[in-house]
Amino acid sequence: MKFVCSVCGKTYGADELVISCSCGGYLKLAFPFQTLKKKDIVTSDHSLWRYEKALPFPKSEIFASLGEGMTPLVQAKLNGVSLLFKTDYVMPTGSFKDRGAVMVINYLKKHGAARIVNDSSGNAAASYAGYCAVAELACDIFVPADTSDGKLTQIEMYGARVTKVPGTRDDVTIAAKKAAEESKGTAIYANHSWHPLFLQGTKTLAYEIWEQMGWDVPDNVIVPFGGGSSLIGLYYGFSELLSAGEITNIPRLYAIQSQNCNPLYAIYIGKEDSAQCLPTLAEGLALAKPVKRYEACDIVRKTKGAVEVVSEEEIVTGLRLAAKVGFYVEPTTAVAIAGTIRLLQNKVIQADEKTVVLLTGSGLKATDKIASVMKS
Ligand SMILES: *Cc1c(COP(=O)(O)O)cnc(C)c1O
Ligand SMILES: [Zn+2]
């Protein structure tokens, strides 16, 4: 396993434990991996490890698993239109982030890390903390000072150490990186938006959708977009299946953002200067400059998908519509529901096409927030 810089092409060995290139660029895995064929699936395993042939290491070499993956693909109607919902909000720690975290944490444990550092106050932190608990790794989470205590309970229950940092979101990142640097190699900064192995986990979304649809792919896949790990992971997974000869086309991929925080949309419509990142109910998507934004925009274009934005009111409507058909998801996830409705209304996607909507995170973690929105 080797990593290569997305900007300058410099390569790094797997045991160097770096997360970005000396030039500042993000790292990608140097392909190719072994291709997975239908016959390679370990059918006796009912987690994402059934696709271990396509993963960076086999299940026999890992330290921590919570049975992640193989979430139900559920058919339900939104406004009378039949859709398929990939219910990743039922993952072990309550979000799709477990797919990526299980790869990153096991990789770092395997290569001798003692302590993991991440900056996040949400699902990525909960997921890292959960897998670190199982892998018996120390975990340091840096969060903005105004993060509500409620959100931190899950992270602290898993035994992670939480440090609140005053200032901007960038200050939190700087503090996390500094803590890792000052540890002289014992603590590893492993932010989920940067770490190249995170996408090796999220790509299993594509494998599962393919298998759960009876070795077929949908016409469209719709995801909420923050840093792009679900979108880019889906693209990697479908691309591998295409090159393995198991599918004949890649679905159109749609990325949905909040109007209030729209950096990908701004790039997509050719008005990058108009990007803004104001507070939004979709807190999991509030990234002003996602590091992989250009790659994500290229992927949307290559697959003939689209980027769409939704208002705060549409997000609330999306939450209600999801609950009406049994899905108790968080506001961030409702962005994808609201986006699906918009894409249908604008005839960008059609009611008779096969469309999969990714349900990324559980409402059970955000009940306070959902309650206050429903009262207003
Ligand atoms: C992190 C997160 C997202 C955004 O995912 P990206 O991979 O960053 O685009 C969406 N929904 C939920 C619930 C999340 O936790
Ligand atoms: Zn570089």
Q: Strand locations in 48-179, DSSP E?
A: 73-78, 81-87, 115-119, 138-144, 161-165
Q: Decide if pLDDT at 1 tops 90.
A: no
Type and span of the H or E element at 156 = helix 149-157
With 0-12 CB in 10 A as exposed, 13-18 as middle and 19+ as buried, what is 31? exposed
The pTM score is 0.97
Distance 59 CA to ligand 1 centre (A): 25
As a whole number of Å, the CA-based R_g of the chain is: 19
CA 222 – CA 342 distance, rounded (Å): 11
Q: Decide if pLDDT at 116 tops 70.
A: yes
Residue 246 has which token pair?
A: 């198991």
Q: Which residues line ligand 1 (CB under 6 A)?
A: 95, 97, 122-124, 224-230, 284-285, 330, 332-333, 360-361
Q: Decide if pLDDT at 376 tops 90.
A: no
Q: Decide if pLDDT at 202 tops 90.
A: yes
CA 117 – CA 49 distance, rounded (Å): 25
Q: Which ligand is nearest to the CA of 100?
A: 1
Mutate to test the pocket of ligand 1, among 200, 225, 291, 365 (most ligand atoms within 8 A of CB): 225
Q: Is 215 left (phi over 0), alpha (psi -120 to 50) or beta?
A: left
Q: Which ligand is nearest to the CA of 232?
A: 1
Residues near 188 by Cβ (< 8 Å), separated by ≥ 6?
17, 19, 108, 113, 115, 116, 117, 180
CA 3 – CA 24 distance, rounded (Å): 14
Amino acid at 255: A
Average pLDDT for 11-38: 89
Q: Which ligand is nearest to the CA of 3?
A: 2
- Give pLDDT tens digits for 341-367: 999 999 999 999 999 999 999 999 888
| 3-class SS of residue 333 | helix
Average model confidence (pLDDT) for the chain? 95
Contact 179, 172 (CB under 8 A): no
Q: Decide if pLDDT at 33 tops 80.
A: no
Lookup result for tokens 């993000």: 26
Nearest CA to ligand 1 atom 15: 123
Average pLDDT for 152-167: 93
The strand pairing partners of 220, in sequence order, are 252, 355
What pLDDT does 281 receive? 93
Contact 143, 122 (CB under 8 A): no
Average pLDDT for 252-275: 98
Query: What sign results for the dihedral spanned by CA atoms 97, 98, 99, 100?
Result: positive
- Of the candidates 185, 178, 194, which has an alpha carbon nearest to the alpha carbon of residue 5? 194
Residues near 313 by Cβ (< 8 Å), separated by ≥ 6?
none
Distance 57 CA to ligand 1 centre (A): 24
Spatial strand order of the sheet with 11-13 comes to 11-13, 2-5, 27-29
Average pLDDT for 100-105: 98
